[in-house]
Chains A and B, each alone.
Chain A
Amino acid sequence: MGKSLAIAVREYNAAVKTKAFVISVVLLPVMLCSTLILRHLTEHLTDSKDQRYAFLDHAVNPDVFNFLNDAVQKRNEDGTQPRWFLERVPATDPAKQLQLKLSDRVRHGELAGFIEVNGNDIVYHSNTPTYLDFRDFAGRRINEALRTRRLADAGFPTAKIEPLLSSLPVKDGGLARIDQKTGAVVNEKPPNSVAAILVPFALVMLMFLIVIVGAIPMMQGVIEEKQQRIAEVLLASVRPFELMAGKLLGMTAISLTLIAIYGLGGVWIAGRTTFDLSAYVTPSVMGWFFLFQILAVLMFGSMYIAVGASCTDMKEAQALLLPVNLLIMLPITLLADVIQHPMGPLARWGSFFPTAAPMLTIARIASSPAVPMWERIVPALITFGTTLLFVWAAGRIFRVGLMAGKASFGSMLGWVIRG
C-alpha cells in the first residue's frame, strides 16, 4: 500500500503541478458553457441585415396584409433583429407570372422571400429554407387575421371577439404538501425549468470532463513510462497491480481536487447570484454524484491505463481508444432524452447499462426526485461490479502490456484470459 501511495502522490503531483492542469481547470467550465458563451459572443455575427418580404395578396381587401404589417412593424420597434419589411403585391397579373417575377427578385437577393395567401392556402416561397422565423411569424399572424375576418363575416363584432380569443400565459406552480408545523396545505416553490435542465446536464458534463481530464494524461504517462523504459525500473520495485493501483489512486485524487475546486467555486458563485439551485443541488444529489464520479474515474481510468500499456505511442493509442471513447460518449448522446423523461424506459434501462450507469443515473437523480431508491442502488452496484471487473482486466493487460510492444484487441483479450 505504501508503494501504491508513493506512486499515487507522484502521479498527483505530476498532474496537478503543471500549467496544463491549471489551464484545464479554467477551461473545464468554459467548455461546459461553451455553447452558451459562443452563442453570446457570435450573436452580432449572425445575419442582421434588413430583410424584405413580399405579400402576394389574392384578396381585394388588404386587411390581412395590414394586420401582418402592423405586427411586423411592432416587432421591428421592439428591436428584434433582423428587421423585416413587407410590401403588398396585389394579384392583378396571372398568378404564375407574378410568382415568377417575385421568385426572380428572391434569386437576385432583392427579396428574402414572399408569402402568398389565396383562399385557404398560405404558401411561403424562399431559397433559404433553414431560416423559419419569418415563415412561422407570418403564418401565425395571417391565421389570426383570417380567423378574425371569418368571425366578422359570420356576424361576430370584432370588439367582442378579441378578448374572448386572447391567450393566457402558463405559470409554473409547486406541488402541494402539508406543512408539518401548521398542518395547512401549502405549495412548494415552483420548479425552475432552466435549473431542472441545467443541473443534470452540468453534473453529467462535469463527470465526463473530470474523467477525461484525469484519464488522458494518465494514459499518456503510461505510454511515456513504456517509451522511456521507466516501467522497467518501476516493475523491478513494485508489482504491476500495485503500480496500477497507485495510478488509479492518483487519478482519483485528481478528480477529487477538481470536484473540490468546482464545488467551492459553485458555492462561491451561488452566494453571489440570485439564481437559486438549492432545490436541485441537494446533499443527496451531491452524495450520489460523488459516488458515481469515483466509480466512473476508476472504471474509465483503468480502461485508459490498459490502452496506454498496450501501445508504444499516441498514434497507436488513438486506434485502441475508439471503443473506449464510444462507451464514454454513449451516455452523452442519450442525455437530452434522459433529462426530459427521467422516468422513461430509455432512462431506466440506459442507467442499467454498465458503462452508461454513472452518468445516466446521476442525470436521472438530478432531474427527478421520483427516481426510486432501488433504481439508484442497482446502477451503483452494476457500476461497482463493472469497475472491479475492468480494474482486474486492466491489471492483467497492464502486467503484460508494459513490457510488450504494440498490441491488438485480440492480444489484449488473450492477456486478460491467460494473464
Chain B
Amino acid sequence: MSHAIQLSNVTKTFGAHIAVDDLSLCVPTGSVYGFIGPNGSGKTTTLRMITRILPPDSGRVCVLGEDHHGPANDRVAYLPEERGLYKQMKVRELLRFYARLKSHTPAPGEIDGWLERMELSGHGEKKIEQLSKGMSQKVQFIATVISRPELVLLDEPFSGLDPINATVLRDIVLDLKKQGATVIFSTHDMSIAEKMCDFIFMVFRGRKMLDGTLESIQRDYGADTVRVEFGQPVMLNDLPGVLSVTDFGKYQELRVERDCDSQKLLAALMQRGVVGHFEIAHPTLQDIFVRIANGNQTAGFLKNDLATDGARIGTDGEKT
C-alpha cells in the first residue's frame, strides 16, 4: 500500500512548549483520515508541517514521496482553520489567483462549475467582503480544491457551516476520495469523524493516542459499556464492577471494569428492577475522546469480550 504521508518521529517545539512530540504517522493513499484531539493538542501544527508551512525541529516529513517543499506541494491543498481571503478581491479573480499559486490554470467554465456546485452562481463578480461568512467559507473551500489536488488537508472544514452547506461540503470530500485523492481533516465533531473517516488519528498534548479504523479502535478499547433500560426509575449505585453510570433519561449507560462479569452484572441489575433492555457495547468515539482528554485512557474490557485487531492505542508504526 502506498502512503500519501509518512511522518517519522516528528517533533516541533515553540519555545519551551512541545507542540508535537515524536509523532509518527502513515496515511494510506486514497483514504479519508480524521484528526481529532482537544484544542491545542497539536493537530494544526501537524497539518502545517505536512504543508511545509512549518519545518519540524526533528524527524522526517514525507509528502507524496517528497521530503522537502517541491513540486509535490502543488498537489497538496490546505484549508486552514481560520479562513484567509483577500477581502477586496472578486470571487472569480481570487479563485483564479489561488489556482495559479498551485500551478493550475482553470479551464473555461471550471470556476463557474464550482460556483454553481457550491450554490454561489451570481456571486462571481462580488468582492469577498460583500459575501456572508458561510459564502466566504465555501469560496475558501473552492480555492482549496480547484487545483484538483491529490492530497487535501482540511482544518475544521465543517465548523460554522449550516447543515445544508455541511452536507454539500461532505459530498465534495467524498467525491474527492472517489477520484483517488487522500483527504485529511481535523474536527471536533466526533459523529462526522465516525461517519466519514476510514481512519481516525487522535493527538493529545503533542503525542499520538489513537491511530486506526474506528472499528479497530473500539475493539481495542473493548466492549466496556453497558446500556440498560428499566421500566421505572431505579437506583444504580454500588453495582459490582461498575466504574460509572451516566443517566440519559431513556436509558442508563454503565462503564464497567476490565474483569467485570456481564452475567453477574445482569443479575445484579435485575434485582434492582425489571430490565427492559441490556446491551454490551463498544464505547463511542466521543467516549474515547473524553476519556483520553480527561487523562483516563485505560481501556476497560469485559471478560466475555472477544479479541481485537488492527488498531493500536498510543503506539506508533505502519498500518498494514
Residues on A close to B: CB < 8 A? 2-3, 6-7, 10, 14, 225, 228-239, 403
Contact = CB atoms under 8 A, between A and B. Distances in A.
Contacts of B86: 10, 14, 228, 230
Given A3-B103, A234-B101, A237-B101, A229 B84 contact: yes
Interface string B74-91: 101110101111111100
Interface string B44-68: 0000100111100000000000000
Contacts of A3: 100-101, 103
B73 A237 contact: yes
A229 B97 contact: no
Contact of A10 (B53, B97, B143): B97
B33 interface: no
A236 B53 CA distance: 6
A6 B147 CA distance: 15
Given A3-B103, A239-B69, A403-B54, A233 B84 contact: yes
B53 A232 contact: yes
Contact of B84 (A10, A230, A239): A230
A25 B86 CA distance: 24
B3 to A, nearest CB: 20
Contact of A232 (B82, B97, B100, B101): B82
Contact of A228 (B77, B85, B102): B85
A250 B102 CA distance: 19
A232 B82 CA distance: 9
B98 interface: yes
B22 to A, nearest CB: 22
9 contacts: A6-B101, A10-B89, A10-B97, A228-B87, A229-B80, A232-B53, A232-B80, A233-B143, A239-B69
B218 to A, nearest CB: 34
A3 B71 CA distance: 12
The range of chain B's interface size is 20 to 34
A233 B98 CA distance: 9
What are the nearest 8 A-B pairs in CB distance?
A230-B84, A237-B101, A236-B78, A229-B84, A229-B82, A6-B100, A236-B51, A233-B84
A227 to B, nearest CB: 10
B186 to A, nearest CB: 14
Nearest to A237: B101
A231 B100 contact: no
Interface in B237-267: none
Contacts of A7: 101
Contacts of A10: 86, 89, 97
Nearest to A225: B84
Contacts, number: 63
Contacts of B143: 233
A237 B82 contact: no
B12 to A, nearest CB: 12
A402 B78 CA distance: 17
A229 B140 CA distance: 12
A228 B83 CA distance: 7
A360 to B, nearest CB: 37
A229 to B, nearest CB: 4
A403 B51 CA distance: 13
Nearest to A228: B84
B101 A231 contact: no
Nearest to B81: A229
Given A14-B86, A239-B69, A403-B53, A233 B78 contact: yes
A17 to B, nearest CB: 9
A2 B76 contact: no
A237 B102 CA distance: 6
A3 B98 CA distance: 10
Contact of A230 (B76, B85, B102, B103): B85
B42 to A, nearest CB: 15
Contact of B80 (A14, A233, A239): A233
Contact of A237 (B88, B89, B98): B98
A225 B85 CA distance: 8
Given A14-B89, A232-B53, A233-B84, 17 more contacts: A2-B103, A14-B88, A228-B84, A228-B85, A229-B82, A230-B84, A230-B85, A232-B48, A232-B78, A233-B78, A233-B80, A235-B51, A236-B52, A237-B73, A238-B101, A239-B69, A403-B48
A3 B69 CA distance: 14
- Scoring B53, B54, B77, B98 by chain A CB atoms within 10 A of each residue's CB, the highest score goes to B53
A233 B74 CA distance: 12
Nearest to B147: A237
A17 B73 CA distance: 31
A357 to B, nearest CB: 35
Nearest to B77: A236
A107 B268 CA distance: 112
Nearest to B155: A232
B76 A236 contact: yes
A2 B80 CA distance: 24
Interface in B86-140: 86-89, 97-98, 100-103, 140
A239 B69 CA distance: 8
